[in-house]
C-alpha cells in the first residue's frame, strides 16, 4: 500500500514513501483518494483550488505559461470530505495544493510559492 511521507514540510515531498506519523488509518483513506484522483488524471499536475483564490489563478497561469497540463479539483465545488482528506494526507491547509504527476509516483509539491520554485 502506498502512503505519504514528508522529508521537510517546506520542500517538495515524495508522496509514496513512509507514513505520516499523525493520522493513522484515516490518512490511508485520504491518501487512497488522492492516489485514485492522480491515477485518473491524464495530466502533468493534479491541483486542488478554491474560488476567489489569487494564488490558484497564478498557479494555473504559471502552468499554462510552461505548457504543463493539469487536472483541477475545486474545493468550493466538491464535498467537504475532499478538502478534509487532502489536509489529512498533506498537512497543507491552504489552496492551491499541487502534485506533480509526471513521474511514476505522484510528488506533493505544496502551494504556489513551492511550485514556482520547483519549476525553475
Which residues are bridge partners to 73 per DSSP?
Answer: 48
Burial letters 43-79, b for 16+ CB under 10 A, else e: bbbbbbbbeebebbeebbeebeeeeeebbbbebeeee
| Residue with cell string 511550485 | 115
Residues 44-120, CATH architecture: 3-Layer(aba) Sandwich (3.40)
Domain ranges (residues) in the chain: 44-120
More confident site: 21 or 72: 72
Kindly report, residue by residue over 97-120, the tens digit of the pLDDT: 999 999 999 999 999 999 999 999
pLDDT band at residue 75, thresholds of 50, 70 and 90?
very high
pTM (whole model) above 0.85: no
Cβ atoms of residues 35 and 2 within 8 Å: yes
Kindly report, residue by residue over 87-101, the tens digit of the pLDDT: 999 999 999 999 999
Amino acid at each position: 500500500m502506498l502512503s505519504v511521507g514528508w522529508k521537510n514540510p517546506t520542500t517538495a515531498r515524495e508522496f509514496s514513501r513512509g507514513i505520516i506519523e499523525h493520522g493513522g488509518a484515516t490518512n490511508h483513506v485520504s491518501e487512497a483518494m488522492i492516489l485514485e484522483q492522480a491515477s485518473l488524471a491524464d495530466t502533468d499536475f493534479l491541483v486542488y483550488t478554491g474560488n476567489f483564490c489569487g494564488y490558484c489563478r497564478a498557479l494555473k497561469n504559471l502552468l499554462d505559461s510552461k505548457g504543463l497540463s493539469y487536472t483541477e479539483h475545486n474545493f468550493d465545488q466538491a464535498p467537504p470530505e475532499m478538502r478534509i482528506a487532502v489536509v489529512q494526507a498533506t498537512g497543507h491547509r491552504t489552496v492551491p495544493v499541487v502534485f506533480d504527476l509526471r513521474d511514476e509516483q505522484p510528488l506533493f509539491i505544496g502551494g504556489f510559492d513551492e511550485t514556482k520554485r520547483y519549476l525553475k
